[in-house]
Chain A
């Protein structure tokens, strides 16, 4: 069965600390896509990154970085030098063979000034 687990319900850190959000997935497909979305307090989901199953290269975008490891079925997200504006709920998702997104429950990230 397809499944995405975000075990961290809520994380709270002080500004400028680094923080990693975990995402573990389950799938029998050999071709799949993984996504991260950000949901700020306004409610709209913002697309952050897409990664396909054949590309295990880590990606860095400014203060954001993603670590994809097929061996552990994980796609973790790290924010370096966190800022208050990073406070949001972050969702990890898996695109299954039916082309639908399987969503994790989300991790609420609180960055304290």
Chain B
């Protein structure tokens, strides 16, 4: 079945440690996205990537880093520089933007990161 995989569902880390969240998709989508969601809040864009080996900062990129070495994978690293990393992280993918395409985004199940 085609879809987006995020693992693990729950992740605990000690303060000051970097942690990498995985996101894999087999939908053959070109674009991938990372969002952060805080309790009772909407989604905020962290990073996005339209093609392999290229990515752009979103609205809240500080303290995060990403890579896009493969079309299927878009891992997110939450670094120790992120001041308040505890949140729910959602990965999404879509067909490439542009050309009038509506490019609805499809989402993974999310990872709840708790920094102790």
Contact = CB atoms under 8 A, between A and B. Distances in A.
A101 B105 contact: yes
B103 interface: yes
Interface of B: 40-45, 48, 58, 88, 90, 92, 97-98, 100, 102-110, 112
Nearest to B105: A101
B102 A45 contact: no
A45 B90 contact: yes
A91 B104 contact: no
A60 B40 CA distance: 28
A33 interface: yes
A91 B106 contact: no
Interface residues on A, range: 20 to 34
Interface of A: 9, 31, 33, 35, 37, 42-47, 50, 52, 91, 95, 99-101, 103-106, 108
A106 B97 CA distance: 24
Given A44-B107, A45-B92, A105-B42, 18 more contacts: A33-B102, A43-B88, A44-B110, A45-B107, A46-B107, A50-B102, A52-B102, A91-B42, A95-B103, A99-B97, A99-B98, A99-B103, A100-B58, A101-B43, A103-B43, A103-B44, A104-B42, A106-B41
Given A99-B97, A99-B98, A100-B48, A47 B106 contact: yes
A11 B29 CA distance: 35
A44 B41 contact: no
A43 B109 contact: yes
B104 A50 contact: yes
Counting chain A CB atoms within 10 Å of each CB, the highest count among B45, B106, B107, B108 belongs to B107
B102 A105 contact: no
Contacts of B100: 31
A77 B102 CA distance: 19
Contact of A95 (B42, B48, B102, B109): B102
